[in-house]
Structure 1
Amino acid sequence: MLERCSVKELDGNVFTMIGEQWMLVTAGTPEKCNTMTASWGGLGVLWGTDVATCYVRPQRYTFGFMEESDWFTLSFLGGAYREQLKLCGTRSGRDMDKISACGFTVAAGAGDAPYIGEADLVLVCRKLYAQDFDPERFVRRELLDKWYPAQDYSRMYIGEIVEAYRKK
């Protein structure tokens, strides 16, 4: 069971949570949504607001949901869900219902934003800003070949963290 909390009460290493344990980025509505595993993102303060940042490539099925909605969520799950996180990172929601296949339930936060009910921590975000990575702006050009050989540059989304939920 999740309970609402303040982001100021959260603890944990963001680098481990995002980069090693991964998170699920979910957008759409509780009735029609998609989720994808992400290991790129950040949490911080921007424009005097608590924010979360995530990155989605245009070919990802979740991209369309992110574009259509003003809201998205980040769900952090425990180690028992590693196989489900792998599936959500390697399979497309165009081809299968990943949420059902993983045995996840969808709950809704502010803005009717869908999130994964089995999460240990959920951040409900209202989009503030979105921008595509511009290859001309890369200072370290070797990153282009390493991370974008197909030139499918990610879109960065910055969202105000409107609600946070954690496991009791």
Structure 2
Amino acid sequence: MLKPIDPKAIDQNVFSLIGEKWMLITAGTAEWCNTMTASWGGLGVIWGAPAATCYIRPQRYTKEFVDREEYFTLAFFGEEYRDALALCGSKSGREVDKVKECGFTVKAARCGAPYFEEAELVLVCRKRFVQPMDPARLPEDVKERWYPQKDYHTLYIGEIVEAYQK
């Protein structure tokens, strides 16, 4: 069972948490949401508050939900959910009900943002800043390696307003 915690109590290695274990970015409502796997992002402090950053490519269905909503969530899972996270990163919510396929139980944060009961850690973020990446400001090697299709990410900064941990 997830219990509310102070975001400042998070003591996991964020490089492992995000880059190796992956996370789900989810937005919408408990009744209608979409989620996607991400392994790029960060946790820190900006504007005097705990914050998370994440990056979403323009073709991702979840982007429509994150753009539309004031809140989004980041959820981190145990290794037993690796296959579910792989599915959420490789299938589109336009064609597959990823929540159903993964067997996730959707819960709603106090603000209404959806998250999954099976997660080990959930961060509820209030969207505070959104900016598409400007390809003119990216190094050529980054563009060549990560953006051969020129589908540059949009950066999202969210203030962490709630956090839950098992």
State the partner residue of 2:19.
Answer: 19
State the partner residue of 1:82.
Answer: 82
State the partner residue of 1:7.
Answer: 7
The CA distance in 2 between the partners of 1:8 and 1:156, in whole Å, is 23
Where 1:65 maps in the other structure, the secondary structure is: helix
Query: Which AA in structure 2 matches 1:23?
Result: M
Percent of counterpart pairs with the same letter?
58
1:160 Cα offset (Å):
0.3
State the partner residue of 1:143.
Answer: 142
1:50 aligns with 2:50: yes
Q: RMSD across aligned C-alpha pairs, in angstroms?
A: 0.6
Pairs aligned (count): 166
1:9 Cα offset (Å):
1.2
Superposition pairs for residues 75-114 of structure 1, below 5 Å?
A: 75-114=75-114
Where 1:142 maps in the other structure, the secondary structure is: helix
Instruction: Tell me if the contact between 2:8 and 2:50 (Cα under 8 Å) persists in the aligned partners.
Output: no
Provide runs of 4+ in structure 1 moved above 2 Å.
none
The CA distance in 1 between the partners of 2:110 and 2:159, in whole Å, is 12
State the partner residue of 2:41.
Answer: 41
Instruction: Tell me if the contact between 1:5 and 1:165 (Cα under 8 Å) persists in the aligned partners.
Output: yes
Query: Which AA in structure 2 matches 1:86?
Result: A
For residues 70-128 of structure 1, the C-alpha deviation after alignment (integer angstroms, 9 at most, x for no partner) is: 10000000000000000000000000100010000111113200011100000000000
The CA distance in 2 between the partners of 1:9 and 1:126, in whole Å, is 19
Unpaired segments ≥5 residues, structure 1? none
